[in-house]
Amino acid sequence: MEIEIDIQDIRKLVNTVKAKYAFDFGEYALSSFKRRLVRILDLYKFKDMNELINKVNFDKVFYENFLKEITVNTTEMFRDPSMWKKFRETVVPELAKLSSIRIWHSACSSGEEVYSMAILMKEAGLLEKTKFLASDINEDVIATARSGKYPLRNMPLHSDNYDKSGGTKKLTDYYKTNGDYAYMDLSLIHTTVFKKFDLVLGKQEQKFDVILCRNVLIYFNLPLQDKIIEMFSGTVDTGAFLVVGSKESIAWCKSATKYSTFSFEEKIYRKL
């Protein structure tokens, strides 16, 4: 039987996490946050929310696993291939005009998107003048991204996405296999800095030509989306690009007036 979760339980959990770990779930979209909690309660066989709250409060290792479950780390290489194709065909020619290129993968998860972009930039002849920042709140997924080690069973899907995105080679040219794993060519990320970063509370001082924040905003309420897009706006100059997920939009954010829509279908925006 599914455990009942009321708003007081959620507030107590949010306050506990904020006090103990300085991470604020208070502006996460309530419906998706509650769905993730139901999953965690079932996965770890907790008898009620109080047991979960106590476990989070007193077990840091469990908290890291809890954070991984709540923040949803589902991704693919070249996910939504039509976006990558549009990026390759329309954004890359604009980036090629720059003397150096800076790209921030915010909420990079386990890094498949970072390798996707590195491959794309390599095929465009721009990798050597591109620097990447890849950040996420969860240290475990950052470690996976840095290692470039992915289950071999996932590679057929990644390869299919790559082909549909307009790749000019074969994805197998960019990794080697050993046992049940694929190991990405780490030279692709030799200019990448991996960093733990909290989109909710963090501040970013660097400037970027492209920011990708894909399939993340959908989990936040509108005030938090506003806050994050405003933070992004301070890290990009006129002409820079912002890319969000296929089911996301910045249209309702206060900072939307600072951008033009570069591709409505693929959710690519350009700073005015």
- Domain identity same for 178 and 233: yes
| pTM to 2 decimal places | 0.83
- Domain identity same for 193 and 228: yes
The phi and psi torsions of 28 (rounded to 5 degrees) equal -75, 150
Residue 143 belongs to some domain of the structure? yes
- Residue 136's H or E segment, with its range, is strand 130-136
Confidence of residue 132 (pLDDT cuts 50, 70, 90): very high
Of 71, 90, 116, the residue at which a domain comes to its end is 71
Residue 2 belongs to some domain of the structure? no
Query: What does the pLDDT look like over 154-201, one tens digit per residue?
Result: 999 999 999 999 999 999 999 999 999 999 999 999 999 999 998 888
Q: What is the CATH number of the domain that holds 58?
A: 1.10.155
Of 15, 44, 71, the residue at which a domain comes to its end is 71
Give exposure, 33-55, as e/b (b: 16+ Cβ within 10 Å).
Answer: beebbeebbeeeebeebeebbeb
Residue 241 belongs to some domain of the structure? yes
Q: What is the CATH number of the domain that holds 265?
A: 3.40.50.150
Residue 76 belongs to some domain of the structure? no
- Domain identity same for 96 and 65: no
Q: What Cα–Cα distance (Å) separates residue 89 from each residue in 20, 82, 177, 212?
A: 46, 10, 30, 17
- Domain identity same for 121 and 47: no
pLDDT at 71 over 90: no
What is the residue range of 41's domain? Answer: 7-71
Q: Beta partners for 213?
A: 244
Average pLDDT (48-54) is 93
Q: Beta partners for 101?
A: 130
Q: What Cα–Cα distance (Å) separates residue 44 from each residue in 62, 94, 123, 271?
A: 10, 49, 44, 44
